[in-house]
Amino acid sequence: MFVASLRRRVFAPRALRPVTGSVITACIVCVLPWTSHAQQLDTVLTWNQVMATALVVPGANPATVFVSRPIAITGVAMFDAANSFERRYHPYAAAVAPEPGASPDAAVAQAAHDVLVAMLPSQRAVFDAALAQSLAGLPDQAARDGAAVGAAVAAAVLELRAGDGWARPFPPLELPGLPGYWRPTPPANASAAFTNYPDVVGFIVPNGRQFLTEGPPALTSERFARDFNETKAVGGAESAVRTAEQTQAARLWASVGTSTPFWAVWNQVVGNVARSRALSGLDAARAFALVGMAQHDALLTSFTGKFLYAFWRPVTAIREAHTDGNDATERDATWTPLVPTPPYPGHPGNMACLGAAQARVLERVVGRDDVPFEVTWTGTTGPTVTRRYNGFRQLADEGAESRIWGGIHFTFESLASFGSCTRLADYAADNVLRAR
């Protein structure tokens, strides 16, 4: 029996809001123990890899949709499917009563399959093949009953997110051509992208203003001059002070020479931690879901700030420093950053915000920050690189600092992001997918 109909009394079809507690107030559930934690964990890890592989295929994800949406939706679908069997946590969108003997593996696989097909339809054949492999070897009836749970969960999650605002095109960003304001950056000089993000609905918070970051410092301030000169010195393409390790980190985090984008780094970390700490399938699915939702809403927070403050990027600030009114900054009309500048305003920093949120969520899930792990960036035009870390915050710090080393951010932008997005993560841990 599918009981998510109760949710429809709370959520109007086009008036979506995030779930901060259980919206399923009555449910008769056949609770079945997971037959093998390792088996269910493998299913969760497998489908996260299927998703990650699909998202790097050129053109797979709609151009107006930031990758954070499919990551979060896939995560919560797998979580709700797994949680329907144990009911240890409040669901995000739905709890479904499985038939006796239903396979939780089939439920998780079907849920992931269905939401991925809906979001990335061009890769349906890939998802169909992966589902067939996940179901192979399971008893027919157990597979069918488990798949029914997954399909119902996927439908509920997709319905809940149907009106989340991601279908809108990018509205134009019109700004005055004054010092301090963003303008298209070389070499592409492209119009601002993802201007629709501040208008989407969060998974954890209703909008990006709940944990809005502080604004940038005044152009005439000592703080602006200090951070300006730091980025100018260390972030330029021809920097004489940036170390080889900093150069490598800046390029890796900017996906230069690698097929491992920033979001896949954190997805990889969750999988490595789940294996090393022998998490159950349900707890691993919860970790993926929380990290995915935190990434989505951290970026919602930072993009809201970006388009509110509309602050110029270092390449513009440095080339036009003669206009900023600050005697402690000096113009370099040919200065170029090490890595390409993204096509949207600078303040606050996306990488810092999502790193802070995901590191803090993982700390809350695991119960500590000092957990060692490795991250591998798969090389394309560059070598494959594996780097070792002693904790989640260390990885987040490196991601944020890489943007200064790469010449596309100032330190004050990262600091503003860490403050707001750490609070966002604590709010998520306290209010979403809570233990019963």
Residue 114 forms part of a structural domain: yes
Q: Are residues 153 and 212 in the same domain?
A: no
In the structure encoding, which two tokens stand for residue 351, read together? 């990488």
What six digits make up the tokens of 331? 């113009």
In a domain, 180, yes or no: no
Whether 166 is covered by a domain: the verdict is no
> What is the domain count for the chain?
2
Here the CATH number for the domain that contains residue 137 is 1.20.144
Same domain (yes/no): 214, 146: no
Q: Are residues 234 and 103 in the same domain?
A: no
On whether both 154 and 263 belong to a single domain, the answer is no
- The 3-state DSSP composition of the chain as helix, strand, coil percent (nearest 5) reads 50, 5, 45
**Structural domain contains residue 192:** no
172 domain residue, yes or no: no
Q: Which residues are 181's β-sheet partners?
A: 311
Q: Indicate whether 208 and 154 sit together in one domain.
A: no
Asked if residue 396 lies in contact with residue 357, where contact means CB atoms within 8 angstroms, the answer is no
Verify that 214 and 353 share a domain, yes or no: yes
Strands 373-377 and 385-389: antiparallel
CATH number at residue 295: 1.10.606.10
Contact 381, 252 (CB under 8 A): no
One domain for residues 132 and 30:
yes
Say if residue 234 is in the same domain as residue 105: no
Q: Which of 138, 160, 182 is the last residue of a domain?
A: 160
Q: Does residue 344 sit in the same domain as residue 409?
A: yes
Q: HSE (CB half, 13 Å, CA atoms) of 156?
A: 31
Residue 25 lies in a domain: yes
Give the global pTM.
Answer: 0.90
Write out the chain's pLDDT in tens, 436 residues: 222 222 222 222 223 333 333 222 223 233 333 344 557 899 999 999 999 999 999 999 999 999 999 999 999 999 999 999 999 999 999 999 999 999 999 999 999 999 999 999 999 999 999 999 999 989 999 999 999 999 999 999 999 999 999 999 999 999 999 999 999 999 999 999 999 999 999 999 999 999 999 999 999 999 999 999 999 999 999 999 999 999 999 999 999 999 999 999 999 999 999 999 999 999 999 999 999 999 999 999 999 999 999 999 999 999 999 999 999 999 999 999 999 999 999 999 999 999 999 999 999 999 999 999 999 999 999 899 999 999 999 999 999 999 999 999 999 999 999 999 999 999 999 999 999 9
Q: Which of 114, 136, 160 is the last residue of a domain?
A: 160
Domain boundary among 111, 137, 160: 160
Say yes or no: 258 and 370 in one domain.
yes
The SS3 assignment for 385 reads strand
Burial profile 35-74: b = 16 or more Cβ within 10 angstroms, e = fewer = eebeebbbbbbbbbebbbebbbeeebbeeebbbbbbbbbb
- 175 in any annotated domain: no
Residues 6+ apart with CB under 8 A from 389: 372, 373, 374, 375, 395, 398
Asked if 302 and 421 touch (Cβ cutoff 8 Å), the reply is yes
Reported as half-sphere exposure (CB side, CA atoms, 13 A), residue 102 has a value of: 28
- Is the same domain home to 234 and 382? yes
- Which pairs from 364-367 meet CB under 8 Å and 24+ separation? 364/425, 364/426, 364/429, 365/283, 365/286, 365/287, 365/290, 365/429, 366/273, 366/277
217 and 266 together in one domain: yes
Q: What is the largest CA-CA distance in the chain?
A: 75
Domain for residue 167, yes or no? no
Range of the domain at 370: 197-431
CA 329/CA 294 separation, integer angstroms:
36
